[in-house]
């Protein structure tokens, strides 16, 4: 029995049913067309497959760099906050001890002097403690009162456990041997040291 045949319009020859003139099946022809341009079944371009891992690696590197930069920025900000807090704390302590040093009354001298001692350490604490008795005699006998006011304060230097602070203060002084109050002006340099969580004065000097 003869097979049906048809003329091949592209070659002028004949083909059997289910075949092409080149002998390849129609399924093979579709596969060839799918492979055009470097594409594969079920996927993209072969070159694209190779680029995807490189892109993922580059993105991961950028993410790591960004995170590292963020960590550095956060650490720097915290360190700056710590330095600012330290400056503020030591300056407040210096202002307080200056106020205590320039504020006293003849009838409350013991408590007033004790505040200065409590805010002191080292050489200054020893010197003031030794002089407190003779100072009391002068203050009580003259009925002296002094009211201090801190006008300005500035940090000259500061590190983790020591600082130098300049303070400008006035004091209004009254005593039994003078007519009316007198205002005294002080420029004081304080050497501050940290003991535990407190800043204490280790030295106090008038500088003008």
DSSP letter at 39 equals: B
Of 14-18, 46-50, 53-57, 198-202, give the lowest mean pLDDT range.
14-18
Beta strand 104-105 pairing with 162-174: unpaired
Domains and CATH numbers, the chain: 93-206 (3.10.450.50)
Confidence class for position 45, pLDDT limits 50, 70, 90: very low
Q: What was the pLDDT predicted at 58?
A: 73
Cα distance between residue 58 and residue 181, in whole Å: 78
Confidence class for position 76, pLDDT limits 50, 70, 90: low
Cα distance between residue 128 and residue 119, in whole Å: 11
Q: What is the mean pLDDT of residues 31-42?
A: 46
- At 66, list the tokens: 């960004």
Instruction: Count how many Cα atoms sit within 13 Å of the Cα of residue 110 in the half-sphere of its side chain.
Output: 1
> Is 5 a residue whose pLDDT tops 60?
no
Q: What was the pLDDT predicted at 49?
A: 59
Cβ neighbours for 127, distance < 8 A, ≥ 6 positions apart? none
Q: What was the pLDDT predicted at 29?
A: 54
């Amino acid at each position: 029995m003869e097979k049906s045949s048809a003329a091949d319009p592209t070659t002028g020859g004949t083909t059997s049913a289910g075949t092409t003139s080149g002998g390849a099946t129609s399924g093979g022809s579709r596969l060839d067309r799918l492979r055009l341009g470097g594409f594969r079944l079920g996927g993209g371009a072969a070159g694209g497959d190779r680029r995807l891992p490189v892109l993922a690696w580059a993105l991961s590197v950028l993410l790591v760099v960004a995170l590292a930069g963020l960590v550095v920025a956060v650490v720097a900000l915290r360190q700056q906050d710590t330095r600012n807090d330290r400056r503020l704390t030591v300056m407040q302590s210096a202002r307080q001890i200056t106020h205590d040093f320039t504020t006293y009354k003849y009838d409350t001298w013991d408590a007033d002097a004790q505040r200065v001692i409590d805010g002191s350490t080292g050489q200054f604490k020893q010197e003031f403690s030794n002089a407190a008795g003779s100072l009391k005699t002068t203050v009580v006998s003259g009925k002296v009162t002094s009211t201090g006011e801190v006008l300005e304060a500035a940090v000259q230097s500061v590190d983790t456990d020591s600082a130098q602070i300049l303070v400008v203060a006035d004091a209004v002084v009254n005593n039994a041997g003078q007519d009316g109050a007198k205002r005294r002006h002080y420029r004081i340099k304080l050497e501050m040291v940290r003991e535990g969580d407190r800043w204490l004065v280790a030295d106090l000097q008038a500088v003008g």
